[in-house]
Every structure is written in C-alpha cells, then in structure tokens.
Amino acid sequence: MAAEAPYEELTDVPANTRFLDMTNYLCQEEVCHGVIGNQLVYYDTNHFSYSFSQSLAMVMEPYLLAAANRAPEAELTLAEAALPLQEAAAEEGGNQS
C-alpha cells in the first residue's frame, strides 16, 4: 500500500471534489481481501460488487452528507439502517418465479 494516498499528489482538483480513503475498511495489516464478511468485494479488478457496495452505505453516508453540507437527520442503529436492504431483498426474492 502507498505510504501516502495517491490523491494527495493530484493537482488542479476542483474545489468541490472530496476523496474518501476506504483502505481501513478494505485492508487489514496491509492485506486487502477479496472477500469480507462473507461478501465478494470486487466485481472486477476496479469495481466493488453490488452487494459489497450496499454494505458500505452506512460507512460512506456520514462522509457523503458532510461533503454535501448536510447532517444526518437521525442516528440509526445498524439494524434500522439495514432494514431497507432486507426489505428489498425479501421483495426481490418474492418476485422470482
């Protein structure tokens, strides 16, 4: 892993651009795993899988809201935050014939 985040070296970055270093969520002890929490992390060599992206929503939300100058409306528990995903998965499973 790079000693310094690669985006630190970028020049001419627009003022409204924000970067989010996800290394701590993807790598442990300098090893980045392809499977985390029983979920496939990458779809290909450059993109997160859909299910792993969904699992990062709670992690990313505060950063995205801060970048948009919005505070979260309320603190959610992990169970409350996961409920829409569970409902969507249940609905999706019920629609398969």
pLDDT at 9: 86
Sequential pLDDT tens for the chain (97 residues): 677 888 888 888 888 888 888 888 888 888 888 998 888 999 998 899 999 988 888 888 888 888 777 665 666 665 666 677 677 777 776 655 5
- What is d(CA 57, CA 29) in angstroms, rounded to the nearest whole number? 23
CA distance 78 to 81: 5
pLDDT of residue 45: 87
pLDDT of 50 reads 92
Find the Cα–Cα–Cα–Cα dihedral 24, 26, 29, 30, rounded to 10°: -110
